[in-house]
């Protein structure tokens, strides 16, 4: 059976004055293109439809993948009253009105079920989300929430425990091409070159709503110019520079910066460049990117190559001087350098270990020989007495001297790795430990004692 997307061809009586996305919305579950991992035969959401027993759920996925459509289809399948609430615009008043409508439908002559659909449910605060709980538990209505954000972080655990979570995926290129073909079959758009169609699919970036809105815009522009075919050349002129969908404050943003960071850490310059360009192409602030590169240099490279931190700071300064797009080349240069540089998180681990130690340890007094003695009284109290000035010692090192509080064991926070400059640092520390040990037992480190 042929399938349609969440925005499918109109039925015969559909008004051509409706937005294209609405005209092409599917009327049955079998018309949906995409999301077959939850809607295909034997899959969980399909089974829920076929069972005749609706259940509360969270539909989690990026924009334009059919969350609203699936909720509406569920209401149709169960002959339920459909109440839609926008968490962006709504509040407790809307929730109260939904409850009243659900009670009226339940207690009326027809005893109709109710489905309450909350779009962008993560926008509701805790108390607003909690307002649904007693009615979900009592079965007054079936709750369906739609969110682009991870519900584990954005939806109250109490509500989450009462709702199944279905993860929806961006539409594939094949799915999006089917939508273009269906719009063409319905004569909603003129003929379109295959190259232009491919470009539109890439531009949509998995978002069917974006694709259809763009097709509608192009159809109107083509009608004004009386074109019979959308060519790639004309498309580029009308569409302008392609910009991918990018939610700068949402989960996709943080997933992408995570991919960049892990590519640098994994020493893959090509992958690191790819994710950097993806973020810049999507509208990420280059200054934010520069700050993240500084963090990567200190966290994942550290003293294995101290030049990395300086290069990251230089790249940030170059961008400030040149701006876009010239300054972005410095960021790219920095990303490649960070990716190929030797890696060490020894300083990062040492810092975290020291923080953990200080947090759980008591406030140990500073040893007397390490205290400052700017006044006569302090000197009389033996502040600074016995301190050995390292520059006056052999090799600039006071062997056997203790710089930790009295009674504190050697914590060993910093453990250099055998990569890059830290190879030499580790060697130097081993030599100093030998000298300290020799000074402690009174032997000469050079006599083999």
The tens place of each residue's pLDDT in the chain, 449 residues long, gives 334 444 333 333 344 567 888 888 888 888 899 999 999 888 988 988 888 888 999 999 988 999 999 999 999 888 899 999 999 888 889 999 999 999 999 998 778 999 999 999 999 999 999 999 999 999 999 999 999 888 988 898 999 999 999 999 999 999 999 999 999 888 888 999 998 898 888 888 888 998 999 999 899 999 999 999 999 888 888 876 554 444 555 667 788 899 999 999 999 999 999 999 998 887 788 999 999 999 999 999 999 999 999 999 999 999 988 988 899 999 999 999 999 999 999 999 999 999 999 989 888 999 999 999 889 898 888 999 999 999 999 999 999 899 999 999 999 999 999 999 999 999 999 999 999 998 876 555 444 43
| Buried b / exposed e along 181-219 (16+ C-beta atoms within 10 A) | ebbbebebbeebeeebbbbbbebbbbbbbbbbbbbbebb
Q: How far is CA 38 from CA 45, 49, 70, 115, 171, in A?
A: 5, 11, 11, 19, 13
Q: Cα(419)–Cα(423) distance, rounded to whole angstroms?
A: 5
Output the pLDDT for position 296. 96
Rounded Cα gap, residues 260 and 320, in angstroms: 22
Stated pTM of the model: 0.67
Which tokens go with 240? 């302008």
The pLDDT score that the predictor gives to residue 49 is 87
The number of angstroms, rounded, from the C-alpha of 170 to the middle of its chain's C-alpha atoms is 15
Residue (of 399, 429, 424, 390) closest to 412 by Cα position:
429
**412 burial level (CB within 10 Å; 0-12, 13-18, 19+):** exposed
* Secondary structure in 3-state letters for the chain: CCCCCCCCCCCCCCCCCCCHHHHCCCCCHHHCCCCHHHHCCCCHHHHHHHHCCCCCEEEECCCCCCHHHHHHHHHHHCCCEEEEEECCCCCHHHHHHHHHHHHHHHHCCCCCCEEEEEECHHHCCHHHHHCCHHHHHHCCCEEEEEECCCHHHHCCHHHHCCCEEEECCCCCHHHHHHHHHHHHHCCCCCEECHHHHHHHHHHHCCCHHHHHHHHHHHHHHHHHCCCCEECHHHHHHHHCCCCCCCCCCCHHHHHHHHHHHHHHHCCCHHHHHHHHHHHHHCCCCHHHHHHHHHHHHHHHHHHHCCHHHHHHHHHHHHHHHHCCCCCHHHHHHHHHHHHHCCCCCHHHHHHHHHHHHHHHCCCCCCCHHHCCCCCHHHHHCCCCCCCCCHHHCHHHCCCCCCCCCCCCCCCCCCCCCCCCCHHHHHHHHHHHHHHHHHHHHCCCCCCCC
Confidence (pLDDT) at 108: 83
């Amino acid at each position: 059976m042929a399938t349609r997307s969440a925005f499918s061809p109109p039925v015969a009586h559909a008004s051509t004055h409706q937005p294209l996305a609405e005209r092409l919305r599917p009327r049955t579950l079998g018309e949906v293109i995409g999301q077959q991992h939850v809607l295909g035969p034997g899959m969980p959401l399909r089974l829920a439809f076929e069972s005749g027993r609706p259940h509360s759920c969270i539909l989690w996925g990026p924009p334009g993948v059919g969350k609203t459509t699936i909720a509406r289809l569920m209401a149709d399948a169960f002959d339920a009253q459909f109440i839609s609430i926008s968490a962006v615009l709504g509040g407790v008043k809307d929730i109260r009105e939904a409850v009243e409508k659900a009670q009226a439908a339940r207690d009326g002559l027809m005893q109709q079920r109710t489905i309450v659909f909350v779009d962008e449910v993560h926008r509701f605060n805790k108390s607003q989300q909690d307002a649904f709980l007693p009615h979900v538990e009592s079965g007054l209505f079936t709750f369906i929430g739609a969110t682009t954000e991870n519900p584990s972080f954005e939806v109250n655990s109490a509500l989450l425990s009462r709702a199944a979570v279905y993860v929806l995926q961006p539409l594939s290129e094949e799915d999006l091409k089917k939508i273009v073909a269906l719009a063409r079959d319905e004569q909603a758009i003129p003929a379109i070159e295959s190259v232009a169609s491919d470009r539109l699919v890439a531009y949509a970036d998995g978002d069917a709503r974006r694709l259809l809105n763009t097709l509608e815009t192009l159809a109107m522009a083509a009608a004004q110019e009386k074109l019979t075919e959308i060519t790639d050349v004309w498309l580029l002129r009308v569409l302008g520079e392609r910009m991918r969908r990018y939610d700068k404050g949402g989960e996709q943003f943080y997933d992408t910066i995570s991919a960049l960071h892990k590519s640098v850490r994994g020493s893959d310059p090509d992958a690191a460049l790819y994710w950097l360009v993806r973020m810049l192409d999507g509208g990420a602030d280059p200054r934010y990117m520069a700050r993240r590169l500084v963090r990567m240099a200190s966290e994942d490279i550290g003293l294995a190559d101290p030049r990395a931190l300086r290069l990251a700071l230089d790249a940030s300064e170059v961008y400030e001087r040149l701006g876009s797009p010239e300054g972005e080349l410095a960021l790219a240069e920095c990303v490649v350098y960070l990716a190929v540089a030797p890696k060490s998180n020894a300083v990062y681990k040492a810092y975290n270990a020291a923080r953990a130690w200080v947090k759980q340890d008591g406030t140990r007094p500073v040893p007397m020989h390490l205290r400052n003695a700017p006044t006569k009284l302090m000197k009389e109290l033996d502040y600074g007495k016995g301190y050995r000035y390292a520059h006056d010692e052999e090799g600039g090192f006071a062997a056997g001297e203790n710089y930790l509080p009295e009674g504190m064991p050697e914590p060993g926070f910093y453990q250099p790795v055998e990569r890059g400059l830290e190879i030499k640092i580790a060697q130097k520390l081993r030599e100093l430990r030998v000298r300290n040990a020799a000074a402690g037992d009174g032997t000469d480190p050079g006599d083999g004692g």
